[in-house]
Every structure is written in C-alpha cells, then in structure tokens.
Amino acid sequence: MKIYRFALFIMILGLFSVPTFAQDTENNTDFFGYYFIEKAPKGFSDISEIHLAGDYGESQTPPFYGLIRMKKKAAKDFQLNKPTINGKNISFTTKAVAGVSYQFSGTFTKLDNFPTNPPDGVVLKGTLTKMKGKTKLAASKVNFTYSPGD
C-alpha cells in the first residue's frame, strides 16, 4: 500500500512541477541562442547580448541557464538565475556583479525550435531593469532579435 501512495505522490508532484527551462518537446520549442537588443536604450547600451542556454545548459553540472554579456571584453558576465517560462512568457534575474544585477520580464513573439529554424525580426519583447542593490538604475521596454550562434 505504501508503494501505491508513493507512486500517487510522484504523479501528483509531476503535475505541479515547474516547466522545463527552454524546451517544450510537445511543441518542439527551444529558445537556445543569443538575443540582441534592437536599438539599445540609454542604460543598456553596454550590453552585447543575452544568451539563453536552454536544455543544454540546464543539463550541465552545475546547471548553466545563460548570461548577459557586456560589450567590454574585460567586463564580467552576469549569470542568469533559473528563468521562469510559462507559455510564451519568460522572466529572469541575474546574479550580481559588483552589486549590479538585471531583471527581465517579457514575451516571445514567436515559438519554434530556434536553433534549427532561426526566426527573423523581433522574437522577444519585454522590460529590462538594471539594479544596484534595491535601487533601480535603469528600466526600459526592449525588443530582441535572435541568432543561433556559431
């Protein structure tokens, strides 16, 4: 009887588990790749790109979810904490570097297996916020284009 209760518990837990980071195999959606701000607003012009690592990064030990890379080669990358994805919506925060961190909340305008079928145009829209501790340094609505990388 204990085995059946345990199996039932596992099944219920599976129903309420958080969706995987980047891939929805049922819809063949994979967001892995590099996202570039279209017309970077003041406060974000030093960002080169945002990299979302998808299932590939999530399977690493320790997991790697992606990063925000700065334009200056000597600048440290901002590692992403585990993003939350719900349908087309994504949100994430970064680990702080010298007290500065980023937050993003947005929506994918398209869904697909991006590495296999790279989309054109704006694929991600949302609000990017730059923080120093609890102080907001910059916030702006931004649009991102996509590249699968090399």
DSSP letter assigned to residue 58: H
Residue 22, pLDDT > 90, answer: no
Give the DSSP per-residue string, 69-113.
Answer: EESSTTSPPEEBPPPEEETTEEEEEB--BTTEEEEEEEEES--SB
The owner of tokens 């990017």 is 128
Task: Please give the pLDDT value at position 116.
Answer: 85
Residue 24, pLDDT > 90, answer: no
pTM beyond 0.85, yes or no: no
Render pLDDT for 86-131 as a digit per residue (tens, 0 to 9): 999 999 999 999 999 999 999 999 988 888 888 899 999 999 999 9
Residue ranges of domains in the chain, CATH in brackets: 2-147 (2.40.128.30)
Distances in Å between the Cα of 74 and the Cα atoms of 41, 64, 70, 77 are 22, 21, 9, 9
Provide the phi-psi class of 13: left if phi over 0, else alpha when psi is between -120 and 50, else beta. Answer: alpha
Percentage above 70 pLDDT, the chain: 81
